[in-house]
Amino acid sequence: MDTDEKGGTAVVIGGTGGIGAAMVAALEQSGAFAEVIGFSRRSDPAIDLLDEASIISAANAVKARQTELRLVFDATGFLHGDGFSPEKSLSAMTPEHMTRAFAINAIGPALLMKHFLPLLPRHGKSVFATLSAKVGSITDNALGGWYSYRASKAALNQLVHTAAIELARRKPDAICVALHPGTVDTGLSSDFAKSGLIVRQPPEAAAQLMSVLDSLTPDETGGFYDYRGNPLPW
């Protein structure tokens, strides 16, 4: 990440997933940070988005480091699994599915912002970026379906925008954004790729997202961008 402040710490949440692991590798290879930390449910300390105490523990571990926190990249997300699959109709919706989607896609990232945004330095470029999804755009929704995923990602976008406003009051150089990674060949999205969509491998997606992070300025905080850096409609 290009910044006037060299070094510092980069944190990737979901660092063992497809995009998360690729981001850890890309950040390490970039040499832009003194330290790159990947958190997951298997790291030490571990992070479980359903357990705020684990998020606090991870944030405290970062706070104890000797370098400033310059980047937090949240690569977590829930689309399907554990018996749940994207709903094609209203009749397929269940409170259990919606609860899980909101817990992981909206509440979990909100708790990450709650505990990690205060750790960003007061001066110099720093970024909190979380993976959202284009299907979370209300304006762009022309197909319907996928109720829980769409709604939870739309909620995430609102949370990011709201947190960015508060963050800017105290840390005007900090950036808080939602990013759409496109369709990437991971367990989360590749099974649902529609014909004609370009499915990219995680290393390529990570390189593109890194380029977006490099180009972001404080004027763009609170925004929703795709992997090319183009703004997406709410």
> Tell me, what's the pLDDT at 82?
82
Whether 169 has a pLDDT exceeding 80, the answer reads yes
Q: What is the DSSP pairing of strand 35-39 with strand 9-13?
A: parallel
pLDDT at position 189: 61
Judge whether residue 1 has pLDDT over 60.
Answer: no
pLDDT digits (tens, 9 = 90+) for 120-130: 999 999 999 99
Any idea how long the chain is? 234
108-116 vs 52-63: helix crossing angle, rounded to 10: 30
Q: What is the pLDDT of residues 156-167, one digit of tens each?
A: 999 999 999 999
pLDDT of 4 strictly over 60: no
- Provide the residue ranges of all domains of the chain, joining segments of one domain with +: 9-226
Neighbour-count burial of 189, counting CB atoms closer than 10 A to its CB (0-12 exposed, 13-18 middle, 19+ buried)? buried
Give the helix ranges, DSSP H, for 86-143.
95-102, 108-116
- Distance CA(131)–CA(226), nearest Å, equals 10
Q: Report whether pLDDT(5) > 80.
A: no
| pLDDT number for residue 3 | 46
Q: Does domain 9-226 have CATH number 3.30.410.40?
A: no
Better-scored residue on pLDDT, 187 or 227: 227
Q: How confident is the model at residue 7 (pLDDT cuts 50, 70, 90)?
A: confident
What is the C-alpha separation between 198 and 34, in angstroms, rounded? 34
* DSSP letter assigned to residue 104: I
Mean pLDDT estimate for the chain? 93
Evaluate if residue 100 carries a pLDDT over 80.
yes
pLDDT of 10-52, one tens digit each? 999 999 999 999 999 999 999 999 999 999 999 999 999 999 9
Identify the three-state secondary structure at position 142.
coil
Q: What is the pLDDT of residues 182-219, one digit of tens each?
A: 989 876 665 555 545 668 899 999 999 999 999 999 99
Supply 176's token pair: 């808080």
**The 3-state secondary structure of 197-229, one letter per residue:** CCCECHHHHHHHHHHHHHHCCHHHCCCEEECCC
| Bridge partners, 128 (sequence order) | 72, 176
| Over residues 107-124, mean pLDDT | 97
Query: Percent of the chain, pLDDT > 70?
Result: 92
Query: In the prediction, which pLDDT does 212 show?
Result: 97
Q: Are the C-beta atoms of residues 139 and 148 closer than 8 Å to each other?
A: no
**Residue 125, both tokens:** 């470029």
